[in-house]
Chain A
Amino acid sequence: MEQSRREFLTTTGGLLGLLLAAGFLRPQEVAAEEWNQAAFEIKKMDDLVKLLGGGAARESAEVTIVAPDIAENGAVVPVGVASKIDKTASIAILVEKNPNVLAATFAIPQGTLPEVQTRIKMAQTSNVFALVKADGKFYYAAKEIKITLGGCGG
């Protein structure tokens, strides 16, 4: 368990490295920037890991994902992310098993509380990650959300 855990942290670091390279998770000037196509087109966690960059994220109890364990429909899954970490500057929501893993990023300027809520689509049951950048360091939380099938068959 310990070993796989360390490995996981490294891979998460790689993901962050790629997202940074793609130019996202930079606070403040997002609105003036271009949409980060490269980051939003990342297909698989595998690809992210292959492109492993520097830096590592720490799992942190200070980052919380507010979401149900089970969603009745994958088209709308309420997800909130809150960070208690000082100087939180940005928050990203990622869904491991979606066709594109990155769902949304939020830049949190000074004066804005580090908590956002939105609703996302999930193609299937998956782990959802919240990544937080605070004072130049990275933190994350993970939560599995199950997607259930409807009864009448579409």
Chain B
Amino acid sequence: MPIIHRWLAAVAAGAGLALAVSAAGQDKAMEEIQKYRQMLQDGNPAELMEMNGETLWTMPRGANGATLEQCDLGLGPGKLDGAYAQLPRFFADTGKVQDAESRLVTCMTALQGLSLEEATRNWHRPGSDIEALVTLVATRSKGAKIDVPARHPHEAEMVAVGQEVFFRRSGPLDFSCATCHSQDDKRIRLQDLPNLTTVQGAQASMSQWPAYRVSQSAVWTMERRLIDCMRQMRFPDADYLSEAVIALQMYMQKNASGATLEAPGIKR
């Protein structure tokens, strides 16, 4: 019996050695990770959330018994195609710069008559209404160019605020977003870290979000992603739909403008 273990150990050691030769090993490892990512492209479970989103979009709900079919995501009531690629943007009716999530919540509360609590219930858990709806909305922008020029003064201000927040260091690890995301060709362990301060880096990253995260069995919206980055920086929970979170998105989407949206992506 022990022999099988020796045999298996030999396999393991062999594989370990082959990869151990520092620089060459790292390159080989990154190559294999690329292969892993490639294999996941075919069959993205985000399609399941998109189907749920379609159901929710056309389902009469709330005190008003209304569907979301007249929701205005910036291109006019009911105009879904390409809308996600132009968010966040300023909305005159609310007087605020809104991202896809906060705008969907506006529609759910104003059109359907849901309470804020009902509309955002379990927003951070797999299977939430927000997860399904954002997946649907983003999927309907697949192939559209991200276009967030931030010409409106409120939008321009949000870009500037987002940039400030991006560089704001605090906490027990002295981190800001910029700690991990302001240099090219960096990795944390083997995960690539996009340089979100550059057009190229922001485009590569933002074109993939929202994304199905295999480690979470869920599609993560951009707010979910950002609030978790702050958790990983060892901050307390940031408020969902808060201005600072939308401002960060505004800063990154502006940087990413011009990229073709390929969301929903599939990520670690």
Contact = CB atoms under 8 A, between A and B. Distances in A.
Interface stretch (B34-42, B83-91, B153-161): B34-42
Interface stretch (B67-75, B184-192, B195-203): B184-192
Which of A3, A76, A77, A144 has the largest number of chain B CB atoms within 10 A?
Answer: A76
Nearest to A146: B15
A146 to B, nearest CB: 7
Interface residues of A, number: 35
Interface in A129-154: 142, 144, 146, 148-153
Given A70-B29, A72-B33, A73-B215, A5 B189 contact: no
B191 A151 contact: yes
B17 interface: no
Interface in B1-47: 1, 3-4, 6-8, 10-12, 15, 19, 29, 32-33, 35-37, 39-40
B215 A4 contact: no
Contacts of B191: 72, 150-151
B232 A152 contact: yes
Task: State the main secondary structure of chain B at its contact with A.
Answer: helix
Nearest to B4: A11
Interface of B: 1, 3-4, 6-8, 10-12, 15, 19, 29, 32-33, 35-37, 39-40, 187-191, 214-215, 217, 232, 268
Interface of A: 3-5, 7-8, 11, 45-46, 49-50, 66-73, 75-78, 96, 119, 125, 127, 142, 144, 146, 148-153
23 contacts: A4-B3, A4-B4, A7-B7, A11-B4, A45-B4, A67-B39, A70-B190, A71-B36, A72-B268, A73-B214, A73-B215, A75-B214, A77-B36, A119-B40, A125-B12, A142-B11, A144-B11, A146-B19, A148-B189, A148-B190, A151-B188, A151-B189, A152-B232
